[in-house]
């Protein structure tokens, strides 16, 4: 048995094919067993039990309240020995609905599988084992009593789920010391922004705006930032010509500790709005 057959999940950052910040994975897709329904496209009525004027044949199961004795009768179609208790199934149907709604169920468990109210294709998941005497019987027909209906079921498929599709997400959490394998196969240090609240320059806990030098940063609204987001984009207007005033991170709550022997980078994404120069700098605390 190969690695791919035996593994439930394979995550391969080194297989990124040279794409920066991209990691590919191999994950299980849904796998279904064989068809449980006999004559699931309704060639004739030999495999089906019909009730109160429903008809089966020529590629569809037809339901019309005018063919029932009363619109309170359950006009339905059923087939036995479809489900086994304790197993999960995918029920796929194709329907044409002109009036009313269709319910899909096991005999004795009302609407246990699902409901169709518009023309189209539907897919339901159902786990058998409701404890009813006829829980292995697939049944479908008109949903509501006392109203008219007119619809067709063109096909119905019931297959046991052998393997569910598996998805996942990556969440590094609080472990900022973790490493990763880059596309080049080398171990790399996880990097992150050490400054706090960079998406909200009006946060007075982490940023200081000298009242005599600047107006509070104004959100740009529909302006899109460098990362495609409309958040964290601000206009900063200087209200004083005094060159000794500046906008800065809070000394107590937004401090980055560095060492002289280490390499650090800092960057800002900005554009001029009446001013052509931007000064960036660090200050010892």
**Range of the structural domain that residue 57 is part of:** 32-163
The dihedral sign for the CA sequence 257, 260, 262, 264: positive
Looking at the fold, whether 78 and 153 belong to one and the same domain comes out as yes
Q: Would you say residue 19 lies in a domain?
A: no
Q: Would you say residue 89 lies in a domain?
A: yes
Q: Would you say residue 199 lies in a domain?
A: yes
Which of 90, 59, 79, 89 has its CA nearest to residue 155?
59
For residue 13, which phi and psi values (nearest 5 degrees)? -60, -30
Q: Residue 156 CA to chain centroid, in angstroms?
A: 26
For residue 5, which phi and psi values (nearest 5 degrees)? -75, -35
| CA 211 – CA 239 distance, rounded (Å) | 9
Q: Would you say residue 10 lies in a domain?
A: no
Domains held by the chain: number: 2
The dihedral sign for the CA sequence 234, 238, 243, 245: negative
Q: Supply the CATH number for residue 103's domain.
A: 2.60.120.260
Whether residue 84 contacts residue 127, with contact meaning beta carbons closer than 8 Å, is answered with no
Per DSSP, helices labelled H in 182-246 are: none
The dihedral sign for the CA sequence 272, 198, 228, 181: positive
pLDDT in tens, the chain (285 residues): 455 555 555 655 554 455 555 656 667 788 999 999 999 999 999 999 999 999 999 999 999 999 998 989 999 999 999 999 889 999 999 999 999 999 999 987 889 999 999 999 999 999 998 555 568 999 999 999 999 999 999 999 999 999 888 776 666 555 656 676 666 777 776 667 778 877 777 788 888 776 665 556 666 554 554 455 555 667 766 666 655 556 678 878 888 887 777 777 777 777 776 666 777 777 776
| CA 281 – CA 193 distance, rounded (Å) | 17
Looking at the fold, whether 118 and 215 belong to one and the same domain comes out as no
Q: Would you say residue 17 lies in a domain?
A: no
| CA 102 – CA 42 distance, rounded (Å) | 17
Which of 91, 92, 106, 87 has its CA nearest to residue 163?
87
Looking at the fold, whether 216 and 113 belong to one and the same domain comes out as no
């Amino acid at each position: 048995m190969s690695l791919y057959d035996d593994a439930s999940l394979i995550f391969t950052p080194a297989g990124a094919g040279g794409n920066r910040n991209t990691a590919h994975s191999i994950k299980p897709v849904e796998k279904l067993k064989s068809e449980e329904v006999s004559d699931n496209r309704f060639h004739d009525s030999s495999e089906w039990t019909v009730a109160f004027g429903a008809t089966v044949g020529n590629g569809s199961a037809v339901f019309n309240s005018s063919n029932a004795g009363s619109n309170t009768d359950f006009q339905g179609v059923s087939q036995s020995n479809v489900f086994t208790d304790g197993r999960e199934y995918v029920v796929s149907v194709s329907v044409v609905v002109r009036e009313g709604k269709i319910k899909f169920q096991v005999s004795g468990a009302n609407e246990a599988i699902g409901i169709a109210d518009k023309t189209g294709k539907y897919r339901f998941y159902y786990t058998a084992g409701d404890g009813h005497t006829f829980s292995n019987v697939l049944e479908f027909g008109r949903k509501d009593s006392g109203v008219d209906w007119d619809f067709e079921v063109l096909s119905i498929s019931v297959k046991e789920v052998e393997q569910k599709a598996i998805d996942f997400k990556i969440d590094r959490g609080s472990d900022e010391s973790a490493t990763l394998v880059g596309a080049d196969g080398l171990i790399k240090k996880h990097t992150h922004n050490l400054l706090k609240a960079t998406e909200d320059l009006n946060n007075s806990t982490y940023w200081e705006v000298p009242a005599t030098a600047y107006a509070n940063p104004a959100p740009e609204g529909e302006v899109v930032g460098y990362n495609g987001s409309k958040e964290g984009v601000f206009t900063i207007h200087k209200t004083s010509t005094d060159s000794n005033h500046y906008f800065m991170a809070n000394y107590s709550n937004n401090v980055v500790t560095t060492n002289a022997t280490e390499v650090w980078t800092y960057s800002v994404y900005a554009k001029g709005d009446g001013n052509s120069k931007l000064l960036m700098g660090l200050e010892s605390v």
